[in-house]
Amino acid sequence: MAEGGKQRVSISIIGLPESGKTTFLAALWELVNERRIAKVLSFDSIGENDHSYLRKIVTVWRRATEQARTRLTGLSAVRMNLKDGDGNVVEVVMPDAPGEDFRAMWEDRELGRVLGESLAGGNIMLLVNGNKIKPPAWVTERAAQRRATGRQKTQALPKEWHPSLAPTQVQLVDLLQLISHAPVGRAGRRIVVMISAWDKVEGERLTPDTFLAAKLPLLAQYLEAGRDGWTSRVYGVSAQGGEYDGNDANSEPAEGEGPMKKTQKRRDANRLREVDIPANRIRLVLGERESNDLTEPLQWLMR
Amino acid sequence: MANALSRDRIRVDQALHGYSEGHRLINGSLKLPQPDARTMLVLSDASASGSRIPLGGYLTGYPLSESGKYVLARTWAAPEMSRPGCVWTHSLLIDFADLARLGSAVGLLKCFQRPAGGGGSGFASRLEVEVTRISTAVPPPDLGRVGRWVSALYGKPRSRIIAEREGPDDDGLVVAIWMQQWPRLRRAFRFCSFAADDRSTSADVFDLQLMDAGRSSRPRIPEGVIASAVERGDWVDTLLDDLKLPARSDLRQFLRDVGSDVTSGRAAMVPLVHLHVALEPNAGPLRLADAISELDRLGSAQGRMGRAAAARVVLSRLDLDDARLFDFALQQVRADRDLLGIEPAIVGRALLRWKPYLLADGLTHEDPLYRAVEAALPQVDTDDLVAVIEAVPGAAAAVLSSRRDVLERASFWRVTSIDAFSLIRSLDADQDHSALIVRALAEAGRDDSSQVVVERFGIGPVVTALSGMDVAGIRSRMGWVRAIAQRTNELAEGMVDGRLSHRPLLLILAEILDPDAVPNSVGTDPWVAAVERTRTTDDVSAEDLLAAFLFNRARGWRSESTGRLFFLSVQRLHEALASERLTSEAWRIAKQRLPYGSVWRDWDQCEKLRHAVVDNFINRELPPIEFGTVVDDGNLWKELVDLAADSSRGRRYLDKVRTALRDGHKRWWIERAELIDRKVT
pLDDT digits (tens, 9 = 90+) for B383-417: 989 988 888 888 888 888 888 889 999 999 998 88
Number of H helices, E strands in chain B: 36, 10
Name the residue among A72, A164, A260 with its Cβ closest to that of B41.
Answer: A72
Of B95, B58, B100, B98, the closest CA to residue B75 belongs to B58
DSSP B558: S
Looking at mean pLDDT, say which of B223-232, B336-345, B503-512 comes out highest: B503-512
Q: Which of B34, B41, B83 sits opposite A69 (nearest CB)?
A: B83
Say what angle helices B236-244 and B251-258 make with each other, to 10 degrees. Answer: 120
Average pLDDT, chain B: 87
Residue B529 has pLDDT above 90, yes or no: yes
Write down the pLDDT at residue A5: 55
CB A250 to CB B77 under 8 A? Answer: yes
Burial (Cβ within 10 Å: 0-12, 13-18, ≥19) of residue A258: exposed
pLDDT at A187: 85
Give B498's pLDDT tier (boundaries 50, 70, 90). very high
Reduced to 3 states (helix: H, G, I; strand: E, B; else coil), residue B71 is: strand
> What is residue B29's DSSP assignment?
S
Distance CA B172, CA B476 (A): 85
**Are the C-beta atoms of residues A11 and A125 closer than 8 Å to each other?**
yes
Q: Which residues of A touch B83 (CB under 8 A)?
A: 18, 66, 68-69, 247
Tell me the per-residue pLDDT of B602-651, one tens digit each, with 9 for 90 and over: 677 888 899 999 999 999 999 999 999 999 999 999 999 999 998 999 99
The answer to whether residue A237 scores a pLDDT higher than 90 is yes
Asked if residues A119 and A179 have their Cβ atoms less than 8 Å apart, the reply is yes
Length of chain B, in residues: 681
For residue A261, pLDDT over 50 is answered with no
What is the C-alpha to C-alpha distance for residues A97 and A103, in angstroms, rounded to an integer? 11
B96-123 pLDDT tens trace:
999 988 888 989 999 999 987 656 678 8
Whether residue A251 is predicted with pLDDT greater than 80 in this model: the reply is no
C-alpha to C-alpha distance for B375 and B384, rounded to whole angstroms = 15
Task: Give residue B120's pLDDT.
Answer: 61
CB contact at 8 A, A242 and A271: yes
Pairing between β-strand A231-238 and β-strand A190-196 as defined by DSSP bridges? parallel
Across residues A105-117, what is the average pLDDT?
A: 80
pLDDT for B214 beyond 70 = no
Do B6 and B97 touch, CB atoms closer than 8 A? Answer: no
| Cα B48 to Cα A52, A103, B54, B429, B573, distances in angstroms | 14, 22, 12, 84, 123
- In chain A, which residue's Cα lies nearest the Cα of B50? A249
Q: Is the pLDDT of residue B668 over 80?
A: yes
Find chain A residues with C-beta within 8 A of B39's C-beta: none
The more confidently predicted of residues B275 and A156 is B275
Q: CB–CB of A17 and B21 under 8 A?
A: yes
Angle formed by the axes of helices B344-354 and B323-334, nearest 10°: 140
Q: Which residue has the higher pLDDT, A200 or A260?
A: A200
ipTM above 0.85, yes or no: no
Q: Chain B partners of A100 at a C-beta cutoff of 8 Å?
A: 22-24, 41
- The predicted structure's pLDDT at residue B151: 93
Which of A58-62, B216-220, B566-570 is least confident?
A: B216-220
Residue B13 pLDDT > 90: yes
Per-residue model confidence (pLDDT) at position B636:
93
The rounded mean pLDDT for chain A is 79
Answer whether residue A158 shows pLDDT above 90. no
Cβ pair A220, A212 in contact under 8 A: yes
Q: What's the CA gap between A172 and A194, in Å, rounded?
A: 13
- With a cut of 50, say whether residue A244 has pLDDT above it: yes
pLDDT (average), residues B438-458: 91
- How does DSSP assign B335-350, residue by residue? T-TTGGG--HHHHHHH
Q: For residue range B146-201, what is the model confidence (pLDDT) as tens digits?
A: 999 999 999 999 888 989 888 889 999 999 999 999 999 999 999 999 988 788 87
Task: Give the DSSP H/E element, type plus range, for residue A294.
Answer: none
Cα–Cα dist A58/A23, whole Å = 8
Decide which of A136 and B657 is more confident: B657
pLDDT digits (tens, 9 = 90+) for A66-103: 787 777 765 566 777 888 877 777 777 767 677 788 88
What is the pLDDT at residue A68? 78
Is some CB atom of chain A closer than 8 A to the CB atom of B23?
yes
Q: How far is B8 from chain A (nearest CA, A)?
A: 35
**Residue B595 scores a pLDDT above 90:** no
Residue with the bigger pLDDT between A195 and A54: it is: A195
pLDDT higher than threshold 90 for residue B347: no
Nearest by CB to B22, which of A100, A248, A257?
Answer: A100
Q: Alpha-carbon distance B347 to B335, whole Å? A: 13
Query: Are A18 and B45 within 8 A, CB to CB?
Result: no
What percent of chain B has pLDDT above 90? 47
Chain A, chain B: beta-carbon pairs less than 8 Å apart:
94
B199–chain A Cβ distance below 8 A for any pair: yes
Closest C-alpha to B239, from B348, B373, B134, B149: B149
Give whole-number Cα distances, B73 to B49, B70, B80, B490, in Å.
Answer: 18, 10, 20, 92
Cα distance between residue B243 and residue B227, in whole Å:
18
pLDDT recorded at residue A78: 74
User: Can you tell me the distance from the alpha carbon of A194 to that of A213, in angstroms, rounded to the nearest whole number?
Assistant: 13
pLDDT the model gives residue A253: 40
Confidence of residue A105 (pLDDT cuts 50, 70, 90): confident
Contact B23 A104 (CB under 8 A): no
The predicted structure's pLDDT at residue A2: 43
B284, B321 contact by CB (below 8 A): no
Best residue of B49, B88, B198 to probe chain A, by most A CBs closer than 10 Å: B49
pLDDT bucket at B263, cuts 50 / 70 / 90: confident
Residues of B in contact with A132 (CB under 8 A): 21
Give phi and psi for B87, each to the nearest 5. -135, 160
Instruction: Name the percent of chain A lying above pLDDT 70.
Output: 81
Give me the mean pLDDT over the B216-227 stretch.
Answer: 63
In 3D space, the residue among B112, B87, B114, B117 whose CA is nearest the CA of residue B22 turns out to be B87
Strand A42-46: give its sheet, edge to edge: A2-3, A6-8, A89-96, A76-83, A42-46
Instruction: Output the pTM of the full model.
Output: 0.66
Q: Which residues are CB-neighbours of B603 under 8 A, at least 6 positions away?
A: none
Q: How many CB atoms lie within 10 A of CB A187?
A: 15
- Whether A236 has a pLDDT exceeding 90, the answer reads yes
Cα distance between residue B7 and residue B5, in whole Å? 5
The mean pLDDT of A188-193, rounded to a whole number, is: 92
